[in-house]
């Protein structure tokens, strides 16, 4: 079988998505057998040959002109472009910073920040066609493996279209929202993590982004009923949705 020509690149993000794949240590040999890694800075020092790609996985949001140029170049090269992780899908937590952008950048990078041109972080879909979205902050290891397995066979994986709440019920967990009276976002969050956090007694923070047709109005009503302020509710619901809770 012809090997999949694959690139995994990162823009504005923490490398967490790429690291998740590298943590699949037992499966790395099998991945190498089906995929030719053309570009993956975190895993290989091999120079990118600049040729066509069967697929490119992209982590991170776009916040610099040079990132946008590179994204457009990758889109032209790749038959399939996959947005991986919350930052690539919605901008993620990168969009939560608000205020003077120059002041924010200088707070992190010092005076050299003025030498860099940046703009508010944007999801990939604002600039290019995205063929598949793999949610999570970061996505699960199993989702990476499912994705690469499907790509190697010329297809795309079927990803869940329902809420974390359903996975929680399938595992027969205590409902942290209704029974434990905690501000859990499972009912409005995209599934695929097998309700990992609620299964350990931790509320869902919504890191996989909103599920299609999420009933945010009912979730807001329930959270307000737990004593959260409207601002707190809005901040929770928008943390991984790509909107700043300080937006008007």
Take residue 195 and report the two structure tokens written for it: 């309700």
d(CA 83, CA 133): 5
- Residue 2: the pLDDT is 85
Rounded to two decimals, the pTM is 0.90
H helical segments located in the chain? 16-22, 28-34, 65-77, 86-90, 101-109, 141-152, 164-170, 196-199, 216-225, 230-238
- Residue 248: the pLDDT is 39
| Residue spans of the chain under pLDDT 70 | 243-248
- Residue 244: the pLDDT is 52
- Residue-wise pLDDT for 47-90, tens only, equals 999 999 999 999 999 999 999 999 999 999 999 999 999 999 99
- Residue 243: the pLDDT is 67
- Residue 121: the pLDDT is 92
């Amino acid at each position: 079988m012809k090997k999949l020509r694959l690139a995994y690149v990162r823009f504005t993000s923490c490398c967490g998505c790429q690291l998740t794949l590298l943590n699949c240590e037992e499966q790395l040999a099998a991945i190498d057998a089906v995929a030719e890694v053309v570009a993956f800075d975190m895993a290989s020092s091999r120079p990118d040959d600049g040729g066509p790609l069967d697929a490119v996985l992209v982590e991170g949001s776009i916040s610099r002109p040079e990132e946008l140029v590179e994204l457009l170049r990758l889109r032209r090269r790749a038959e399939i472009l996959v947005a991986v992780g919350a930052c690539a899908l919605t901008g993620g937590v990168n969009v939560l910073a608000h205020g003077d952008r120059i002041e924010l950048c200088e707070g992190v990078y010092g005076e050299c920040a003025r030498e860099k041109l940046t703009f508010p972080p944007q999801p990939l879909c604002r600039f290019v066609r995205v063929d598949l979205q793999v949610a999570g902050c970061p996505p699960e290891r199993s989702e990476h493996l499912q994705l690469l397995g499907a790509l190697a066979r010329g297809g795309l994986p079927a990803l869940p279209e329902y809420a974390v709440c359903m996975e929680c019920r399938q595992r027969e967990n205590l409902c942290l929202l209704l029974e434990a009276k905690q501000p859990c976002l499972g009912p409005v969050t995209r599934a695929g993590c097998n309700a990992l956090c609620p299964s350990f007694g931790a509320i869902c923070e919504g890191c996989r982004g909103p599920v299609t047709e999420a009933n945010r109005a009912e979730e807001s009503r329930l959270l307000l009923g737990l004593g959260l302020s409207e601002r707190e509710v809005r901040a929770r619901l928008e943390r991984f949705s790509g909107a700043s809770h300080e937006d008007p």
